[in-house]
């Protein structure tokens, strides 16, 4: 894995050299997340450092635009940058694609999810864990479609999911 580290060092912008990303580069592409989790258990980093290390080792291929935007939304810009640089260091992209992805990360503005728990409550569902799971499911659907569905489409998806499996009151 030292070849990946050397390639990463060559790719990293001078103002963005990161020891956690470099540590992640030493993890194997296959099974790296499990190894990173064991290492994090031993090193006991902060929660944010642990999350970044694990996120950096979970995406092996160079992310396409939709995958990059989903990683930005889910993991944040630092973790997405790690994923792009590590994928490129492992030979997953040309320098121009890497530069383009890094530029998109630099200009990223997270879109606001168009629904809230109140939208589900207004449809008669009682507060509880099932409400959160349903909201998470609609949000995952929205992210998987690259944030394109508007509020009306998200509400339609919510209605579809609620009709498919109406939860018990208070669940």
* Mean pLDDT along residues 97-122: 93
93 compared with 118, residue with greater pLDDT: 118
- Mapping DSSP onto H, E and C, the string for 55-90 reads HHCCCCCCCCHHHHHHHHHHHCHHHHHHHHHHHHHC
Residue-wise DSSP of the chain: -HHHHHHHHHHS-TT---HHHHHHHTS-SSSHHHHHHHHHHHH---HHHHHHHHHHTT--SPP-HHHHHHHHHHH-HHHHHHHHHHHHHTT-S-HHHHHHHHHHHHH--PPPPS--HHHHHTTTPPSSHHHHHHHHHHHHHHHHTTT---HHHHHHHHHHHHHHSPPPTT-
26 compared with 31, residue with greater pLDDT: 26
pLDDT tens across 35-68, in order? 889 999 999 999 989 988 888 887 666 778 888 9
* Mean pLDDT along residues 130-156: 96
pLDDT at 156 over 70: yes
User: Tokens 């349903």 identify what position?
Assistant: 134
pLDDT band at 168 (very low <50, low <70, confident <90, very high): low
**Planar angle of CA 131, 74, 58, nearest 5 degrees:** 120
């Amino acid at each position: 894995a030292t070849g990946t580290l050397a390639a990463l060092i060559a790719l990293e912008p001078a103002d963005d050299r990161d020891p956690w990303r470099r540590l992640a580069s030493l993890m194997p592409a296959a099974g790296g997340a499990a190894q990173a989790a064991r290492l994090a258990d031993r090193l006991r980093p902060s929660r944010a450092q642990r999350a970044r290390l694990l996120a950096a080792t979970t995406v092996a291929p160079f992310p396409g635009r939709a995958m990059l935007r989903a990683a930005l939304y889910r993991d944040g810009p630092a973790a997405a940058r790690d994923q792009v640089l590590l994928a490129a260091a492992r030979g997953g992209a040309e320098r121009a694609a890497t530069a383009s992805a890094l530029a998109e990360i630099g200009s990223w503005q997270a879109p606001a999810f168009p629904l809230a728990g109140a939208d589900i409550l207004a449809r008669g569902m009682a507060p509880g864990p099932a409400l959160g799971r349903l909201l998470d499911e609609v949000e995952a659907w929205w992210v998987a479609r690259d944030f394109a569905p508007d509020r009306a489409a998200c509400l339609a998806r919510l209605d579809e999911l609620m009709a498919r499996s109406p939860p018990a009151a208070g669940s």
